[in-house]
Structure formats: structure tokens, C-alpha cells
Amino acid sequence: MKTILVNGTETMLSIHSATIVWDEIEIIVPVLAAGVKLLIGTALMDGYHLSIYFQSDGSVNLTAIF
């Protein structure tokens, strides 16, 4: 898939499918292969609060907003 990166350059990326478990529900999502770093889109986190402690062994918490 031809993609424009945030810096404006164009590149070709592979598209794969992945199954994730989100709120105990399996969802199939498209995944763009862009390198060796693993990233997840933030669209899945709509309606959630994210808290990250950026330190060695720091915790990551994702909580639904009621």
C-alpha cells in the first residue's frame, strides 16, 4: 500500500490482518508493517483513559471512561 508518512515522504507498506482482544471481544484489524518497532493506533483507545509511567518497570493502565 502506498503511504504518506508524517514527514511527507511516500513509502510502500505491507498490510496484514491481526486479531486483538479488546474488552474481552475478538476484533480483526488491519496492520501496516512499517519496520521493526511495534506501534498501535490510538483510535482503539477512544473512550478510554491511558496512564503511563515512563520508567524502568513502569506501569501502563488503560481504563474505560464511564
Separation CA 32–CA 63 (nearest Å): 26
How confident is the model at residue 31, as a pLDDT?
A: 84
Banded pLDDT at 5 (limits 50, 70, 90)? confident
Mean pLDDT of 4-29: 88
The three cell numbers locating residue 51: 496512564
What does the pLDDT look like over 22-64, one tens digit per residue? Answer: 888 899 988 888 776 666 677 788 899 999 999 999 999 999 9
Is this structure's pTM higher than 0.85?
A: no
Separation CA 38–CA 40 (nearest Å): 7
Separation CA 29–CA 18 (nearest Å): 5
Look at residue 11 and tell me whether its pLDDT is greater than 90: no
